[in-house]
Structure 1
Amino acid sequence: MKNIGIFTHDLYPYKPWGQGRYVYELAKNLRRVYEGKIFVFSPSPGIDDPYHVEVFGGSHASAGKNIGFSIKLGFVLENLIRKYDLGLVHYQGGPGGLFLIKKPSIPVIYTVHHTYYQQSAHIENQRWKKLLFLWEMFSYRKSDFLICVSPSTKRVLGRRYKLKEGLRVIPNGVDGTRFFDMNLPRIPNSLFFMGRLETRKGIDFLLKCMPVVKNGCRDVRLYVAGSGCLKRELEEMTEHFGLHENVRFLGVIDDRDVNEWYNKVSVVVIPSVFEGFGLNAIEAMSCGTPVIATDVDGLRDVVEDGVSGRLVPYNDVEGLRGCVLDLLRNDLERQQLAENGKNRVKALYDWQNISRQVAKIYQIVIGGSGETVRFHCF
């Protein structure tokens, strides 16, 4: 069985979110089901993995970050292919991911986490990222197969990138031994947000909703975990709205404490402008905590409105207020959503099943299974 090289800019635990966690979990689980060696290449230092290869260490701090890393990687990719006897290259794509400088001598596949088109279309101060859209499209067109983490991402690639063939949806997964129901007592009337404090994550929208939520529930508590460029602005908003007793900023919480936080709050709120997937949603659902999310790309693929969670339109203050108050007041609905959410995660987002699907793609693309797949024709 041929060796696989997974290339990523971010990697857990050095970069503990999104693509970094995806690659960490994928590689760990692939090694249980794939007979060849799974190498991971990234600039992340100090990774405790004998099959991790640090390439251009320190690139996280350089100008351009993932862009600069992509360019430098293009000059050494063939050397790495030969040195580690790789039979397939697996790039991580989308904002924060890698660009392909030129097609390598062996098959290459991409996991597309979300797209620059979505960022430029939905976030006003990131319109300039449309310039990266063409490079991103060039990279995908040079690949042999695309793994999309959600149906929303696949639709965007079809409609905006004109990629119709060689795409398959394989979602992110959740580690059930790390995110599970601890049966802890819940903090009454508590909400939890975890993520980067930036526009795309919608935390400013959530804070704008809190005064009207407070009008219906005086002792509501919102716990905000994370850091980012909006931190000072959000703290000022909290004071302006008189929410200093209702909103608590936790900063970046220790990775070992995340499961406990999911377990001790009443509801997790994910108010994003859009997502490639909705990793926080399946983590919370795995813990038996009901989720309120925005009805946007990525999240609507994960959360079934009224079944495994609740969906509200982004920027609909009254809609979010009503949804939050409904769940805080209705113990039975919270319990039903929580149970349905746990069942959905077990059925669809188990890492062992997901890693088998990815391993099957590896075998198809490198010709190991005898099956055929339709590739891009440009």
Structure 2
Amino acid sequence: MLIVFVKSTSLGGISTHIKELQRGLKKLNYQTEVIEINLKPLKFIKNILALRYVCHREEVIVHFHGYKAILVLPFIPQRVKKVCTIHGFLDEGRWRNSFLKGLLVELFKKVDHFICVSHSLKNYIQGQFKVPQSKITVIYNGVSVDNKEIPKNKGKKIINIGACGRLVKLKGYDGLIHAFNNIYPKFDVRLHIIGSGPEEENLKKLARDKVYFHGYKPNPLEYMEMFHLFVQPSLVEGCGVSVLEAMSLNIPVIVSDAGGLPELIEHGVHGLIFPKGDIKALTNCLIMVLSNKEIGNKGNLLDKLGINNRAWVAENFSICKMLELTISVYNKILGEFLYEKVV
């Protein structure tokens, strides 16, 4: 059995997601290939030819990732089984053309099964694209927690607040910087932002003292290890891999209520949740944590939040679980049991 992953060109979470699936599938003796879709006419034709060649060569499941990837579906033989993972919400700025949305609705009808990385996305494609509930499985993104040592003795003389992601408007980093500007004179804190993108220069203009931009890092976990607190202020978010990565290091998190983010944590246990785009609410969350206010029992809130985050991620958001559930979808559309349970 060959699994062909079809994706658009990117360095983001989709690429990481596919690499983890490939690594796990290889251990179970599956063959995998990746075809990156480029919408430039000549390259698009080459993509289609490569995909058709693979589909005629042997038994195949084509696994699309994202909205652009599914545009090649009409060129795939009807007999081939098709799965599509939805990682995020449609960018209305890029897909405002009603014809394109209508095209997606028709293409979605030809997909055998959908995987959504959050229940929020499941509800979205049910409503926007009329996908039946029976054709959708929710499988959260998985992160590795095996053999990962949690850094000790970070010290808290200076509190390092971290964020990680592509620097675009929908990530809400301008709101985070505004909130940080409100609190940094009162606390000995630093804000570290990992990532690059079109909003970088605008964000740097908003930033005052003690805000550091580290650019794109292929392995952001190396930098997250020094964070005392992680913030994801997204206005739109499918799941939030960076949040899970931070939690795998037992770092407490503050997240907005956008998309699937509230599904990742319990408020007051793993971190705090605030209304998306609400700078005052985010400021209050930061003050609550940094001033050692309490939720429930007595104690330092920064120390209390997140102490079991690693165990929570290992139980609910592991790569092993993501892989096992993904293979179960493959089995479902093939109508047979093809694998041994992942250990």
**Category of TM-score, reference length = shorter chain:** 0.7 to 0.9
Amino acid at match of 1:202: G
**How far apart are 1:179 and its partner, in Å?**
5.6
Question: Does the alignment pair 1:293 with 2:255?
Answer: yes
Structure 2 Cα separation of the partners of residues 252 and 212 of structure 1: 26
SS of match in other structure, 2:107: helix
1:52-63 correspondence to structure 2 within 5 Å: 59=38
Q: Which amino acid aligns with 2:256?
A: T
**3-state secondary structure, aligned to 1:216:** coil
Mapped partners of 1:101, 1:328: distance in 2: 50
Partner of 2:4: 5
Could you tell me which of 227, 230, 239 is aligned with 2:199? Answer: 230
Shift in CA distance, 29/4, structure 1 to aligned 2, threshold 3 Å: same
Counterpart among 213, 234, 250 of residue 183 in structure 2: 213
Q: Which segment is superposed worse, 270-279 or 179-188?
A: 179-188
What SS does the corresponding residue of 2:212 show, helix, strand or coil? Answer: strand
Distance 1:139 1:70, change over 3 A: farther
- After TM superposition, give the deviation of residue 76 of structure 1 in Å: 4.1
What residue number does 2:139 align with? 170
Cα offset, 1:229, TM superposition: 0.9
**Structure 1 partner of 2:111:** 143
User: Shift in Å at residue 152 of structure 1?
Assistant: 0.6
One-letter amino acid of the counterpart of residue 266, structure 1: H
Deviation string 1:298-337 (CA, Å, 9 cap, x unpaired) is 2112122222221111121111011012112327323332
Contact 2:194 2:215 in 1 (8 A): yes
Distance 1:71 1:19 in 2: 23
Match of 1:247 among 168, 193, 211: 211
1:27 and 2:22 aligned: yes
Go from structure 1 to structure 2 and tell me whether the alpha carbon gap of 1:210 and 1:322 turns closer, same or farther (over 3 Å shift).
Answer: same
Matches within 5 A, 1:324-339: 324-330=286-292, 332-339=300-307
Structure 1 CA distance, aligned partners of 2:34 and 2:106?
A: 22
Structure 2 distance, partners of 1:129, 1:282, is 34
Name 1:359's counterpart in structure 2: 327
One-letter amino acid of the counterpart of residue 32, structure 1: K
1:183 and 1:4 map into 2 onto residues whose CA distance is 41
Deviations 1:122-180 (A, max 9, x none): xxx55736654333333322110111111111010112211122111011100114765
* Number of the residue aligned with 1:77: 51
Q: What is the Cα deviation at residue 224 of structure 1?
A: 1.3
Residue identity matched to 1:80: V
Could you report, residue by residue, the CA deviation over 1:238-297 in whole angstroms, capped at 9, with x for unpaired residues? 2xxxx1x32111122352xx2232121111111111111110110000011111111110
**Structure 1: 5+ residue runs without aligned partners?**
44-55, 371-378
Q: Which residue of 1 aligns with 2:62?
A: 89
TM-score, normalised relative to structure 2: 0.87
Question: Given that residues 167 and 200 in structure 2 are in contact (C-alpha distance below 8 angstroms), is that contact kept between their aligned partners in structure 1?
Answer: yes
What is the SS of the residue equivalent to 2:225?
A: helix
1:274 aligns with 2:267: no
Contact 1:74 1:101 in 2 (8 A): no
CA contact 1:267–1:289 (8 Å) conserved in 2: yes
What residue identity is the alignment partner of 1:223? H
In structure 2, the partner of 1:199 is: 169
Secondary structure of the structure 1 residue equivalent to 2:65: strand
> Tell me, what secondary structure is at the counterpart of 2:258?
coil
1:262 to 211, 214, 224: 224
1:341 aligns with 2:309: yes
Deviations 1:170-212 (A, max 9, x none): 1110011476522241452221111111101111111122221
| 1:40 and 2:36 are equivalent in the alignment | no
CA distance in 2, matches of 1:328, 1:79: 58
CA distance in 2, matches of 1:22, 1:68: 28
* Aligned-CA RMSD value: 2.5
- Aligned residue identity for 2:325: Q
Shift of 1:73: 3.1
Task: Deviation per CA, 1:18-53: give whole Å up to 9, x if none.
Answer: 1000000011112234x4x3312234xxxxxxxxxx
Q: Which amino acid aligns with 2:103?
A: W
1:17 and 2:12 aligned: yes
TM-score after normalising by structure 1: 0.79
Q: Is the aligned partner of 1:316 residue 2:278?
A: yes
Answer yes or no: is 1:107 the counterpart of 2:65: no
Cα separation, 2, equivalents of 1:275 and 1:19: 13
Aligned residue for 2:33, secondary structure, equals strand
Q: Which moved more, 1:140-149 or 1:171-180?
A: 171-180
Question: Does the C-alpha gap of structure 1 residues 74 and 260 become closer, same or farther in structure 2, counting only changes over 3 Å?
Answer: closer
Instruction: Give the fraction of aligned pairs with identical amino acids, expressed as a percent.
Output: 24
Report if aligned partners of 2:113, 2:333 keep a CA contact under 8 Å in 1: yes
Contact 2:257 2:273 in 1 (8 A): yes
